[in-house]
């Protein structure tokens, strides 16, 4: 006698697709595409195309897109297909305002709870990844190393609310929109100072380094925005 299996074959396949590592693979693949410039802010995401590219079911693609939306990387619209989030100049500065406060909190919490014998190795590894990516001049590797660095800081700080909120700030999109070696160089120097402050500087100094870092990023991006606006006006002198 054949036993009945609850749910359709399609339902079971969908469940297997989402419960496997497929969603994570698509999620990481989309972030890597953004890091490499294969995808750009404002680009539409078509489920069928992504499913074919990543060898995944549409349910897994849809779930990965939802997770990226929660992180502030994807915009979801009721009447349009999802797209990589794109920021105008004002939105970029708003993101940086939030990032400044949040980065200070993350650094301060990490410095407050840092114990060399417990956390030193993880911080060493995070710094080594950043340094290696910078030496190889690999934008995507640098992006991954940056994300790992902040994961380590959040883990050291142990604040569950910061762990929930910090990844959704939208800095991934900021760095995807405003690419430059100068910006990457400033970030590397700042990360070294931030790590030193967490290790030896105490909470107040670590918070100050976090704010200083975002201030450096803001200054470079503001300069890029100004140059871009000037060039646009030069090309179209009749428009203001």
pLDDT in tens, 150-208: 999 999 999 999 999 998 898 989 989 998 778 888 888 999 999 999 999 999 999 99
How many domains does the chain fold into?
A: 2
Strands (E), 10-109: 74-75, 83-84
What tokens appear for 204 in the block? 């107040």
Statement to judge: residues 102 and 190 lie in one domain? yes
Spatial separation of the C-alpha atoms in residues 74 and 93, rounded to whole Å: 18
Q: Which domain holds residue 59?
A: 9-84
Residue 204 backbone zone (phi > 0: left; psi -120 to 50: alpha; other: beta) = alpha
From 61, 84, 107, the end of a domain falls on: 84
The model carries a pTM of: 0.80
From 18, 51, 84, the end of a domain falls on: 84
Residue from 141, 154, 149, 73 nearest 113 by CA: 154
Backbone angles phi, psi at 63, to 5 degrees: -65, -40
pLDDT tens across 18-73, in order? 546 899 999 989 998 998 889 999 999 999 999 999 999 999 999 999 999 988 89
In this structure, is residue 240 part of a structural domain? no
The alpha carbons of the chain give a radius of gyration, in whole angstroms, of 21
From 46, 64, 84, the end of a domain falls on: 84
Spatial separation of the C-alpha atoms in residues 119 and 127, rounded to whole Å: 13
Q: CATH no. for residue 193?
A: 1.20.120.530
Statement to judge: residues 111 and 70 lie in one domain? no
């Amino acid at each position: 006698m054949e036993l009945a299996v609850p749910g359709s074959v399609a339902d079971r396949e969908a469940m297997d697709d989402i419960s496997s590592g497929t969603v994570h693979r698509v999620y990481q693949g989309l972030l890597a595409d953004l890091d490499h410039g294969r995808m750009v802010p404002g680009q539409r995401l078509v489920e069928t195309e992504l499913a074919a590219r990543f060898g995944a079911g549409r349910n897994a693609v849809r779930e990965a897109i939802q997770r990226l939306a929660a992180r502030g990387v994807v915009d979801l619209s009721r009447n349009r297909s999802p797209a990589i989030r794109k920021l105008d100049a004002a939105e970029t500065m708003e993101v940086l305002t939030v990032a400044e406060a949040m980065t200070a909190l993350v650094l301060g919490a990490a410095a407050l709870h840092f114990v060399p014998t417990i956390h030193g190795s993880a911080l060493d590894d995070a710094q080594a990844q950043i340094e290696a990516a910078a030496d190889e001049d690999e934008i995507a590797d640098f992006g991954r190393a940056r994300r790992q660095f902040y994961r380590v800081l959040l883990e050291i700080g142990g604040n569950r609310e910061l762990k929930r909120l910090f990844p959704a700030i939208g800095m991934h999109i900021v760095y995807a929109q405003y690419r430059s070696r100068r910006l990457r160089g400033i970030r590397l120097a700042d990360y070294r100072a931030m790590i030193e402050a967490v290790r030896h500087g105490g909470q107040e100094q670590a918070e100050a380094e976090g704010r200083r870092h975002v201030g450096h990023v803001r200054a470079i991006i503001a300069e890029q925005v100004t140059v871009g606006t000037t060039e646009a006006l030069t090309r179209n002198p009749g428009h203001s």
